Structure 1
Amino acid sequence: MNETLLQTLFKKYRSQTLSEEERELFFSLLGNPEYKERVEELIRELWKDTEHFENAPLTSAGKKRIASVMARIESPERRVKRRFPAFWAAAASIALGFGLAILYYAQQVKTPGPEAPHVTEIKTNYGEKKKITLPDGSLIYLNAGGVLRYANTYNKQNREIELIGEAFFEVAPDKARPFVVRSQELRTYVLGTSFNVRAFGDDDHLFVALITGSVRVDHDSSSSVLKPGEKINYNKLTKESSVLPINDKDYWGLWRKEVLAFNGQRFAEVASLMEKWYGVKIHVNNRSLLNRRFTGEFKDLPINKVLDMLSKSSSFSYRIEKNQVYIK
């Protein structure tokens, strides 16, 4: 039963859709000697899937650690047959795909090398926002229901962070160390600029909206360079993206000014944003309402006032019971 669970959690870890409880369970199973063989099988499968890569960035310490792990898993005969460049390419891909899990596993089998970097994690609850200053002076405004992670090597070896949720960035220039945002399937590279990333785990679409400067957004095998006033819309289901003009650049930064804004969004998206904004759960029983689109800006208003205004244009009713909202 737990081996099946481990497989499921492994897939969710790679897609960055693990909840905090699932993440803790995943790492506990990963370090359990009882599942050592199954963990090795998962790594071996990932190893096979990545043999076609030729180059990927990886530190020498990371190479040593992953090489030691793979040396324990692969038979001597199989290791001899591998070409050296392909080995590091696959190992690098494993490091990128398996993330902290491969480092954790490497520690469990007591491989040599330095300890894994310490990771700082900053969260915001629903209804909460935070302004974060990174070691290089870059500013990040983290919206409600968000998670931001970066290693203690930030601004030393690199400037890479991981984002789940929505954040607005004002990046300090540094040509030697580009700023990189990992947000599920997207990688956003920038030297110095301001932009907004929206990448909630429960949304089907990921967005990067550029306000000033220039960024490159990578996903799968595609790459797009954005100009100021452009956004990329990535569909997680179809794995396709499109670059579109931003009709209102101010819209993407309004949430930092405590303004709840909708810009032609379906009510299903509006409800999701309101849940994070107010820290409530919204139940929509009126199915025809979900695809209706709404535009508006609401500053410093309680949820009942916002719902009153929205209901005038769509004729729906609602009731609020503590942190539960019922719409029909």
Structure 2
Amino acid sequence: MNIDEQHFKRLLDAYLTGRATPEEQKLLDDFFETYPQLRRTSTQADAATREAIWRQLASNLPARPPQGKGRTLAPVWYSVAATIALFAVSYFLFVRYTGDTPAPQTVPLRQAATDRGQKLKIELLDGTQVTLNANSTLKFPEQFEGNVREVYLTGEAYFQVAHDAAHPFIVHTPVANTLVLGTSFNVRLTPDNRAEITLVEGKVDVGGVILKPNQQAIARQGGEPVEVRDVDVTAFVDWKDNILRFDDVRLGDAVTVLQNWYGVDITLEDPALAHCTISATYRKETLKNVLASISYMLKLTYRQDGNKIVLQGHGCKQ
């Protein structure tokens, strides 16, 4: 059957949406079973995994066919087979490890942890660089073994993953897991048990959803669909360079950030202050300067006794 890549992509779309004819379904299924790596994965994977593999195949095909004669189905497949075979294997491994309970570890894990007011930079033995934000923990093996590189995160961290196509990198969190080959991204667990994965460059998979640069995935516990939105990534990764940004942020939320950032306890004397919003950027500023700035913006005063701070004022009009 002679078809070009554009036609093949349409076949995949029909396959995934249930519109393919029995003959088209058999054609694609036969090709799926042709390659050993994919066949080994497909026999152990569920329907959702197989669909994710097909979607990844579709995303790797160019939108337009090359100039000249249409290609046969086989050459079209060969042009992306290596990529999809790798994805199939890594996706299956990813699915194995996405349960609520992590898979048993055969390698002892080391732990790096930060308290409030601390940040920590770590370089793993594979060359991956991790910046750990305040009040966060990263568990990782001294030496990665097996087919995947796995780490376990609570809190927030910025990852610059060393590229290794043969050994996908997985960041486990209590809410969602992120699968990558080599890329830069931020992972943050929020106080309300959400996971925010913000992609700076490369490509990551969050629960079967593929992110592009300048996109953020929001995952929640309980099996809810992953939400994807376009974002200004600097707002989510500036912290690693000691830049503190508040873009129309509620003071109540800003206080939580400040407590972790500077290792202090902040109380709002009037609970109504929590609903006031601030917009400001602070580059390596002292706590004193930040408090003075916020006090000026919202017409507040504050008193400090050691690590305990009280913000005072009359709130703001909503």
Query: Match of 1:316?
Result: 300
Query: Match of 1:285?
Result: 269
> Is the aligned partner of 1:265 residue 2:252?
no
Query: Match of 2:198?
Result: 209
User: What pairs up with 1:47-126 in 2 under 5 angstroms?
Assistant: 96-99=99-102, 116-126=106-116
Q: Describe the shift of the 1:266–1:241 C-alpha distance in structure 2 as closer, same or farther (beyond 3 A).
A: farther
Contact 1:284 1:327 in 2 (8 A): yes
Q: Describe the shift of the 1:324–1:170 C-alpha distance in structure 2 as closer, same or farther (beyond 3 A).
A: same
State the shift of 1:154 in Å. Answer: 2.0
Q: Which amino acid aligns with 1:164?
A: T
CA distance in 2, matches of 1:191, 1:149: 19
Contact 2:193 2:220 in 1 (8 A): yes
Contact 2:125 2:142 in 1 (8 A): no
Query: Match of 1:160?
Result: 150
After superposition, give the CA deviation of every residue in 1:216-257 in whole Å (9 maximum; x if it has no partner). 111xxxx321110111223458945421111x3222232121
Contact 2:148 2:167 in 1 (8 A): yes
Specify the SS of the correspondent of 2:155: strand
Contact 1:210 1:229 in 2 (8 A): yes
Specify the SS of the correspondent of 1:181: strand
Q: Which has the larger radius of gyration?
A: 2
**Gapped regions of structure 1 (runs ≥ 5):** 1-53, 57-91, 104-114
State the shift of 1:275 in Å. Answer: 0.8
CA distance in 2, matches of 1:147, 1:307: 28
State the shift of 1:311 in Å. Answer: 2.1
Contact 1:232 1:243 in 2 (8 A): yes
Q: Describe the shift of the 1:177–1:120 C-alpha distance in structure 2 as closer, same or farther (beyond 3 A).
A: same
Contact 2:278 2:297 in 1 (8 A): no
Q: Describe the shift of the 1:295–1:234 C-alpha distance in structure 2 as closer, same or farther (beyond 3 A).
A: farther
Q: Which amino acid aligns with 1:232?
A: A
Q: Describe the shift of the 1:235–1:321 C-alpha distance in structure 2 as closer, same or farther (beyond 3 A).
A: farther
Q: Describe the shift of the 1:235–1:326 C-alpha distance in structure 2 as closer, same or farther (beyond 3 A).
A: farther
Alignment RMSD: 2.6
What is the aligned length?
Answer: 221
Contact 2:269 2:310 in 1 (8 A): yes
Q: Percent identity?
A: 28
CA distance in 1, matches of 2:258, 2:182: 31
Contact 1:148 1:164 in 2 (8 A): yes
More moved, 305-314 vs 166-175: 305-314
Specify the SS of the correspondent of 1:309: helix
Q: Which amino acid aligns with 1:215?
A: V
> Is the aligned partner of 1:132 residue 2:122?
yes
CA distance in 1, matches of 2:226, 2:273: 27
Query: Match of 2:176?
Result: 186
After superposition, give the CA deviation of every residue in 1:158-215 in whole Å (9 maximum; x if it has no partner). 2111111111111111111111111221111111111111115x34432111010111
After superposition, give the CA deviation of every residue in 1:107-159 in whole Å (9 maximum; x if it has no partner). xxxxxxxx842111000121111111111101111111110001345254421
Contact 1:204 1:237 in 2 (8 A): no
